[in-house]
Structure 1
């Protein structure tokens, strides 16, 4: 009887959470629309002021620029939040993890070259297929790769390695960046926790939700001054293994 009561309570809490998440998503949408209008009109106002040359106008332009920057920051925050809130059950199809990793690494190759960062690949060619939602998985990988590149301000190395474990297909992303302390590791997957100026704190939580929606899991190890290692593991469906 007690077990049944606990199950009912868990189901009720889950229903309340889903209702709250849906409400929060709807509220974010309602904020997004007028914010876009504000942003557009700020741009038009800036163009109008640029045609007037006076000390007072220049001060006004500076203030308009501040408002525009904050609008852009809020729009980015809303985009991240909506992506986080929308993460529901996804239609998964058979695919190769190596292909997803290669696509993401190619997308960031130019940034890596500009930052004197060497990208090394050790991708197991014999990986079995996993069930995936390609767009969402790439979004999660892009967040991890972007964070890795940004952590290496004076050059370094990013290593991407795929391999099989006893029960999963795994990916390691290892950078030689600045690393983070134990407290940051403990909280980095919590929504709105960020160590970046202007960061939304939703990138890593969203990546985690995406990976968990694939039936996978993500772990992290980091050492200040030496770098960070993310490990992603995905189950191999029996019918595909």
Structure 2
């Protein structure tokens, strides 16, 4: 097989992938509409049952609550999936990685204080600019910080450090939480893989997709009982001559 044949096959596979991704996104959107109708009518049914003061109505209310919880779970799953499926090429502009992570950390400061978790920043003031899309990059960072908070016990710490390597601008996000085993590390970026009750399993895959859309990469190190470190690396934005 020639190089031209390889390129043609790759283009065909890419087209099929994009077609399937678009179809999956459309299907998820179509499911979302009737699910919203079901949720609305469940709420109306719950109101009707609440007006009936009987043992039968109370049993029915318990069952209605189970249906409502599952509807809300499905709506959350579809929302996360649509966010994952719709991510395509994004318009990047010059910006500061420090500003992005600082904005996200400030957004979670109140929750960290409530949980008695200390947030530490070691941000390089001389950090070069990177090409970024602020909204999507902050969404990826928020997912990582949220996971770190949920994994860390009261009295623990979350540390954010930015620095420059020979080829990239990097961010380490470190928590002193419970950590994960090697099997979880192996699968954590796979869609729908989750160790959380009620989790969609799309948060980390979406974060990685966003980071890769920035030309970057994400890696993870973790030790059970000691914590986890995510490292994000982005290409240094070349200055115009």
TM range (shorter): over 0.9
Give the deviation of 1:157 after TM superposition. Answer: 0.3
Q: Following superposition, which runs of at least 4 residues in structure 1 exceed 2 angstroms of deviation? A: none
Distance 2:40 2:125 in 1: 49
CA distance in 1, matches of 2:136, 2:91: 11
Cα contact 1:215–1:235 (8 A) shared by 2: yes
Aligned to 2:192: 192
1:155 alignment partner in structure 2: 155
Map of 1:222 onto structure 2: 222
State the TM-score, normalized to the length of structure 1: 0.97
TM-score, structure 2 length as denominator? 0.97
The offset of 1:238, in angstroms, is: 1.0
Q: Structure 2: any 5+ residue segments left out of the alignment?
A: none
Counterpart CA distance in 2 for 1:102 and 1:59 is 49
Contact 1:101–1:141 (Cα < 8 Å) also in 2: yes
CA drift of 1:240 comes to: 6.4
Residues 178-229 of structure 1: CA deviation (Å, up to 9, x unaligned): 0000111011000011111111110000000000000000000000000000
How far off is 1:154 after superposition? Answer: 3.6
Counterpart of 1:144 in structure 2 is 144
**For 1:73-112, what aligned pairs fall within 5 Å after superposition?**
73-112=73-112
> What secondary structure sits across from 1:179 in the alignment?
coil
CA contact 2:94–2:129 (8 Å) conserved in 1? yes
Aligned residues: 241
2:130 and 2:235 in contact (8 A); partners too: yes
Separation in 1, partners of 2:95, 2:45: 49
Q: Is the 8 A contact 2:96 2:130 kept in 1?
A: yes
**For residues 117 and 110 of structure 2, what CA distance do their matches in structure 1 show?**
10
- Structure 1 segments unaligned to the other structure (5+ residues): none
Which deviates the most, 36-45 or 69-78? Answer: 36-45
Q: Following superposition of structure 1 onto structure 2, how do residues 1-241 of structure 1 map, counting pairs within 5 Å?
A: 2-239=2-239
CA distance in 2 between counterparts of 1:106 and 1:50 reads: 42
Would the aligned equivalents of 2:117 and 2:153 in 1 still touch at CA under 8 Å?
no
State the secondary structure of the residue aligned to 1:88.
Answer: coil
Distance in 1 (CA, whole Å) between partners of 2:45 and 2:190 is 38
The worse-fitting range, judged by mean Cα deviation, of 231-240 and 55-64 is 231-240
- Asked whether the equivalents of residues 121 and 160 of structure 1 are also in contact (C-alpha less than 8 Å), the reply is yes
- CA RMSD, Structure 1 to Structure 2 (Å): 1.2
